[in-house]
Amino acid sequence: MWTPKAQADLVHRALIELEVEQAIVVGHSWGTLVALSLALDHPADVRSLVLISGYYFPTLRADVLASSATAAPVIGDLLSYTVAPILGRALKSRVFRKLFAPAAVPSRFQAEFPTELSLRPSQLKASAADTVLMTPSAAALASRYGELKMPIIIMAGTEDRIVNFASQSEHLDEVLGQSTLVSFPGAGHMIHHLVPEKVVEAIDLTASRSGLAESNQLTPMQPGTVDAEPQPEAT
């Protein structure tokens, strides 16, 4: 059961092996649950957090129901080796559009995304398991967010069609109280591809706030903008 906690424990052991102390941890989407688990269960590992387009509180989600069969024993293996790869190839463009909407999918992402690696049976089943575990994992973590004491920057697009901005990123900022929320009006789920310089700026800012940078001359982050052409809704 590769829950966020189990994955965070693995990252913790990796940091020990690498002799990395007090890391600035960046998580995107489902990975924010792993980043938060690491910060909660191994706080000495984490100097600060940058959370991008994350899912933090349990909600009803259609993708959980859709992934349940693929995540299940036996039938999930059968689907992963037969129907699921075919559906994945057929739906790839639609999934990409939803991820980036309302911006267009960058041509480099479209050309270089490792589609065949993502459609391996083992990968399909792992992704389905992640999706099914997402809601209960968020529920388990949500009651502990008050334990977080390190600098935290939350980044998200206001038009994210994968996770709702108001009920997730905005709500987490309200719960934490002392975090920094950086919103991107009109942007979707993949802001680290659309405005990577803003993500770098957030990392630098958390380094400054945690005393890692040589100077504290960085200015507070302002709401971002995304210079990308909107696209029509997928049909």
Locate 121 and state its tokens.
């049976």
Q: Given its phi and psi angles, is residue 92 left (phi above 0), alpha (psi -120 to 50 degrees) or beta?
A: alpha
Locate 42 and state its tokens.
């191994």
pLDDT at residue 105 greater than cutoff 50: yes
Angle between helix 4-18 and 121-142 (nearest 10): 100
Tell me, yes or no, whether 158 lies in a domain.
no
Average pLDDT over residues 125-129: 90
What is the domain range of residue 128? 62-133
What integer pLDDT is reported at residue 76 of this predicted model?
86
Tell me, yes or no, whether 38 lies in a domain.
no
Q: Give the residue, 78 or 35, on which the prediction is more confident.
A: 35
Average pLDDT over residues 161-183: 95
Tell me, yes or no, whether 24 lies in a domain.
no
What integer pLDDT is reported at residue 107 of this predicted model?
92
Backbone phi and psi for residue 195, each to the nearest 5 degrees, phi listed first: -135, 60
Per residue in 50-87, pLDDT tens?
Answer: 999 999 999 887 777 777 888 888 888 899 999 999 99
Task: Report how far residue 174's alpha carbon sits from residue 189's, in angstroms, rounded to the nearest whole number.
Answer: 20
Tell me, yes or no, whether 80 lies in a domain.
yes
What integer pLDDT is reported at residue 172 of this predicted model?
97
Q: What is the dihedral of CA 137, 142, 143, 144, to 10 degrees?
A: 90
Please list the residues that pair with 46 across neighbouring strands.
23
Average pLDDT over residues 181-200: 95
Q: Give the residue, 13 or 178, on which the prediction is more confident.
A: 13
pLDDT at residue 208 greater than cutoff 90: no
Contact 168, 33 (CB under 8 A): no
Tell me, yes or no, whether 1 lies in a domain.
no
Per residue in 129-159, pLDDT tens?
Answer: 898 899 999 999 999 999 999 999 999 999 9
**Percent of all residues in the chain with a pLDDT value above 70, rounded to a whole number:** 89
pLDDT at residue 33 greater than cutoff 90: yes
Task: Report how far residue 235's alpha carbon sits from residue 9's, in angstroms, rounded to the nearest whole number.
Answer: 41
Domains identified in the chain, total number = 1
Task: Report how far residue 27's alpha carbon sits from residue 163's, in angstroms, rounded to the nearest whole number.
Answer: 14
What integer pLDDT is reported at residue 67 of this predicted model?
78
Tell me, yes or no, whether 224 lies in a domain.
no
What integer pLDDT is reported at residue 73 of this predicted model?
84
C-alpha distance across the termini of the chain, in Å: 35
Tell me, yes or no, whether 93 lies in a domain.
yes
Tell me, yes or no, whether 94 lies in a domain.
yes
Q: Give the residue, 20 or 234, on which the prediction is more confident.
A: 20
Stated as kind and residue range, the H or E segment containing 131 is: helix 121-142
